[in-house]
A and B are shown apart, each in its own frame.
Chain A
């Protein structure tokens, strides 16, 4: 391969004119480098610019500013049919007037492949997605999951350098979606093709990706491995969007080389010893973020740091876990307790009104800039 990066977006801006005549940046100075063979996800809610970014790589949209590179080559206004990338569409976009075989053969015919070769490659692709024997069906005669596989096979049969997937599992039911997530990941590893995957489902992104770009309002909020974006979110948006978090507003009381202490008015106490991130200054208004599963509840005062007296206000049993809602002074905090033992005996668990102690482990607690 000529280039280290399969796809690179350099300072890309895409502006649209809204129906009201206003200019809106759907993608706002986005820079991304996607390595060869990587499973890369763009994650964000609708309107965050993830699909527009993908469409610019595919060639359906051209950047207003900046440049998209594929295999090191600047794409400029290269039309989609001259790019060595293929797309799996959210709606599948299978040609209804053609059979499954004809759908797959379409892309190969465009390359001018011989009939023998088309037959071989289509057969191979159908085998790969476990649809052998379905080649004479029409898309309408297939289930949603099967249609999804045809869409995947139709793109893969072209052996693209990069496969673009626009929420391909969005229309499937939960169980099938989970199966397909693992299958897609296995397929990607087996083929070694770069996948760029667009989704609004954080769990899906975490399950499959090597790296994730979390996007919001046309900008990349954070780029990193699933562990990085979950454990070290760059800002409050990422912490909130990926997983769940308790946010406590406060002010930096003291700041050392690698630790920060924050006074939180709603706790009427200080949270100490937290790892710091770049750009924080003493006295700054910040947000202390801690994930519900990372808080420990104890019944006794362990005389530890970051230990706060709390009262249970509600418990919600949801099978694998129980959500415990507590009041700490004026702050409301959610704690997630795994049900490691049977909760059949009510005495085995916290009851509403019970006094408990919350322990915030400093290494699991983050100081984030207020946004």
Chain B
């Protein structure tokens, strides 16, 4: 008899975990096809051709998009397009800059010994463990103080006045992304034998060529997974963006929050579904890269 017989408790626990993890998501996706505009109960899919009376007696008009009515609705919504554009612009810009800074600091922490190194290492964890709302208030205070002072000193007016917007959101995102990138790249560098770099130099490559042709290609999987992690964090971020955004820099999370305060239509569900798909794809890519990396390591 197998001594490791599965206990019924394990099965119950597993079912519960999966239920609470995925039931909300399944519900959310399902309701994005809801015929009811109020979106409180699920009243069937939207018909494609003929109108239909639903339970509460109201009439559901047929839509050329059929069950995908709310997705079509979403596509026509200019605000959503703008918010999605902002979100991606911020995520891409911040990811590129944070990846460069994070990779450089990881290499510096790996390679050099300096007095404040233990402090630098520890300080990486501060943005990770600190409550996001504290950091959000912090950057907001910083920006408003700084901008107020600059605007006054240089006597700026009208469009020239510094204010919250895309730039402040991007900078704040970079600030919380850098530690994540650094830690991921550092983990990759831990197994990096310095004899690869010595071999490159031995064969005639100077420091820069060594980095470009040997070090960087070898740590690239680590850099990529750090960048992807940072990217998904930026896509999701609500709290810090909430404090640092301004007119014209509304991101998707902020937009959805705005919608929720008025009325929850299935459009929000449709938007969330698309969004989940995007993030899921990014996480999948991250996983594939990490798998390949661990295979290379073994």
Contact = CB atoms under 8 A, between A and B. Distances in A.
Interface of A: 58-60, 79-81, 85-87, 89-91, 93-97, 106-107, 110-111, 140, 154-155, 158
Interface in B190-249: 193, 195-196, 198-206, 209, 213-214, 217-218
Nearest to B216: A97
Which of A58, A60, A140 has the most chain B CB atoms closer than 10 A to its own CB? A60
Q: Chain B interface residue count: which class?
A: 10 to 19
A97 B217 contact: yes
Nearest to B218: A97
A356 to B, nearest CB: 54
B218 A106 contact: no
A91 B193 contact: yes
| CB-CB nearest 6 A-B residue pairs | A110-B204, A107-B203, A93-B199, A93-B195, A80-B201, A97-B217
Contacts, number: 63
Contact of B202 (A58, A91, A94, A97): A58
A93 B203 contact: no
B213 A106 contact: yes
Nearest to B204: A110
B58 interface: no
B199 A89 contact: yes
A158 B213 CA distance: 18
19 contacts: A58-B198, A58-B202, A59-B201, A60-B198, A80-B198, A80-B201, A87-B198, A87-B202, A89-B195, A89-B199, A94-B199, A95-B196, A95-B199, A107-B204, A110-B203, A154-B203, A155-B202, A155-B203, A158-B203
B296 interface: yes
Given A96-B218, A96-B296, A97-B217, A81 B202 contact: yes
A106 B197 CA distance: 13
B199 A81 contact: no
Interface of B: 193, 195-196, 198-206, 209, 213-214, 217-218, 296
A106 B209 CA distance: 11
A154 B213 CA distance: 16
A106 B214 CA distance: 10
A79 B203 contact: no
Given A96-B296, A97-B217, A106-B213, A91 B205 contact: no
Contacts of A80: 198, 201-202
Contacts of A110: 203-205, 209
B198 A89 contact: yes
Given A79-B201, A93-B199, 12 more contacts: A59-B201, A60-B201, A81-B201, A81-B202, A81-B206, A86-B202, A87-B202, A89-B199, A90-B195, A93-B193, A95-B218, A158-B204
- Could you say which of A58, A87, A110 has the most chain B C-beta atoms within 10 Å of its C-beta? A110
Contacts of A58: 198, 202
Contacts of B193: 91, 93
A232 B296 CA distance: 50
Contacts of A89: 195, 198-199
